[in-house]
Structure 1
Amino acid sequence: MTPSQKIPIGKVARAHGMKGEVKVLPYPLLNFEVITQILRFYWRSGPGEYQLLELESFRQAPGEGYLFKFKGIDDRDAAEKLHDTELFINREDLPPKEEDEFYVFELVGLKVLLPDGKELGEVVGLMPVGPYELLEVRVEPRKTIYLPMVEDIISEIDLEKGTIYATPPPDLLESQL
């Protein structure tokens, strides 16, 4: 049996209160609503070694982030031992996706190609903006552009080939490049 692919979801910022809660700052690689459906988390205890943390409860934290309570972490001292720990989930623990639905972590690193086959850049993230999301594409080491994730602009996403085919209107590229 092959080991499960671990996906980083966030980092424990600090202990919270006296009953073992920790404040977790999530990475933008997964929608947090997806994370809240998962009960098993892991932390890296060594190279290629992970320890299980079972979720007992979670809630919105004051300010940013979320408060997680893990089974067996019952006081502040135990919670403080998780400080600055990166949290992971198993890929197979993710809920099933709908057709033409993708997790952000699957898109990060894909090459964005224009209709003529020229590479525009590499996906570095996704930003929600109301009714749709913006694909964040690094076109130069210090230059990023944003493409709306709409059918008229994003024509195909091919995870196997590691590519996204985009047809952005010329004025959209001109305004950002």
Structure 2
Amino acid sequence: MEKWFNVGKIVNTHGIKGEVRVISRTDFAEERYKIGNTLFLFLNEKDQPLELTITTHRKHKNFDLLSFEGFSNVNEVERLRDGLLKVPESQLGELEEGEYYFHEIIGCTVYTDSGEEIGSIREVLAPGANDVWVIKGKKGKDILIPYIKDIVLDVNIAEKKIVIFPMEGLLE
């Protein structure tokens, strides 16, 4: 059975020419939303996914605006709202060393270089210069860790274990 990965959610329409607003959940938006690429829309669990081919992509505020082959006006895309855009595992490309997909990082347990367990990663934010990992701390408080080489010392996806150097004030 094919494994699917969420790359975005259609939250609304945009304009009258068939564009949709997408909240992106992919770490490779420029590559994933390239014109001609195929995404699969899941409107609910029991229906077959709808295959969509991207015809336009542009950024607008915090959204990715997409349009699809065969959908040329707002009335046609209205029914796509609230759908999840996914790709099959077979469409995931190979990454270079030191690069990871969000789904590989989420769920990893984070330790300090002295062996103290901090918590597990529950979300990855991509605000700009570098990703930020949101860790659910052992005391229930969220801890934000920037993914930079001075802090992240080792990532072992197979063991779901990450070791960091906690710079002064980072864990407070």
Provide the TM-score with structure 1 as the length reference: 0.81
> What value does the CA root-mean-square deviation take over the aligned residues?
2.5
Candidates 29, 35, 54, aligned match of 1:32? 29
Distance in 2 (CA, whole Å) between partners of 1:15 and 1:172 is 40
* Deviation of the 1:116 alpha carbon: 4.2
Aligned pair count?
170
Distance in 1 (CA, whole Å) between partners of 2:56 and 2:121 is 33
Unaligned runs of 5+ in 1: none
2:73 equivalent in structure 1: 75
Q: Is the 8 A contact 1:34 1:95 kept in 2?
A: no
- The question of 1:50 aligning with 2:53 is answered no
Distance in 1 (CA, whole Å) between partners of 2:98 and 2:141 is 28
Percent identity (aligned):
24
Deviation readout 1:55-107 (Å, 9 max, x if unpaired)? 1111223x331221111112222100101111112233234311111122321
Q: Is the 8 A contact 1:139 1:145 kept in 2?
A: yes
Q: Is the 8 A contact 2:33 2:54 kept in 1?
A: no
Q: CA 1:84–1:122 in 2, change beyond 3 Å: closer, same or farther?
A: same
Matches within 5 A, 1:43-122: 43-44=41-42, 45-47=44-46, 49-61=48-60, 63-122=61-120
Which letter does structure 2 place at the counterpart of 1:39? Answer: N
Q: CA 1:36–1:161 in 2, change beyond 3 Å: closer, same or farther?
A: same
